[in-house]
């Protein structure tokens, strides 16, 4: 009986750990990591239009996986917007891939949240979790910075200040290549 309780406890912790409230950085296993080619995907945006990663070939792309229940995810979005505003004219594309279960969190709620905050970066819906599976997302927020050639330059789990000096220099370096 104790063994079953421990298994349930460990599984519960694994599920809860998907959104780390501490903001601490913990290593996560992911199929896509720095140096690998970012897998292409096609997902629906807020206007029901299909968007693919390959649409942005030749641009630097920051992809973040998030959902509405993740406090770290929503707290990172203002700095993602600031990064988007600062670098989009130079060739940066910020894409936030929503990984909510759309049976429980309706797209309208997500769209209303995005519009109420005035975010202008691209929002895509991973309705079947196929892209999350391809990228082996085990926790969110998970963010990938992809260079102009489609290779992952940087991968990070957790909340971050995307307009910090370190991150803006990282993005500027990729844009200058």
Answer whether the bond into residue 141 is a cis peptide, omega within 30°. Answer: yes
> Taking the CA of residue 136 as centre, how many other CA atoms within 13 Å lie in the half-sphere pointing to its CB?
8
Judged against a pLDDT cut of 80, whether residue 26 lies above it is answered with: no
- pLDDT per residue over 111-141, tens digit each? 999 999 999 999 999 999 999 999 999 899 9
At residue 40, φ and ψ (nearest 5 deg) are: -75, 155
* pLDDT value of residue 105: 87
- pLDDT per residue over 84-95, tens digit each? 999 999 999 999
**Full domain range(s) for residue 43:** 2-176
Show the DSSP H helices in the chain as ranges.
2-16, 71-87, 107-117, 130-134, 165-176
Bridge pairing between strands 60-66 and 142-146: antiparallel
Domain with residue 167: its CATH number is 3.40.30.10
The structural domain count of the chain equals 1
Mean pLDDT score of the chain: 86
């Amino acid at each position: 009986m104790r063994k079953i309780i421990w298994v349930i406890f460990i599984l519960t912790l694994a599920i809860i750990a998907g959104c780390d409230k501490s903001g601490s950085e913990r290593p996560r296993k992911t199929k896509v990591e720095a140096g690998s080619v970012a897998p292409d995907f096609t997902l629906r945006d807020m206007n029901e239009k299909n968007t693919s990663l390959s649409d942005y070939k030749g641009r630097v792309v920051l992809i973040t996986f998030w959902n509405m229940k993740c406090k770290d995810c929503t707290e990172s979005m203002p700095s993602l917007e600031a990064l988007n505003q600062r670098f989009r004219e130079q060739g940066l594309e910020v894409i936030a891939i929503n990984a909510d279960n759309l049976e429980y969190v309706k797209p309208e709620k997500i769209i209303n949240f995005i519009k109420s905050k005035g975010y202008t970066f691209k929002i895509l819906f991973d309705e079947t979790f196929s892209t999350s599976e391809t990228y082996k997302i085990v926790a969110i927020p998970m963010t990938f910075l992809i260079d102009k050639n489609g290779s992952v330059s940087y991968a990070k789990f957790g909340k971050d200040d995307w307009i910090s000096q370190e991150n803006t220099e990282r993005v500027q370096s990729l844009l200058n290549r």
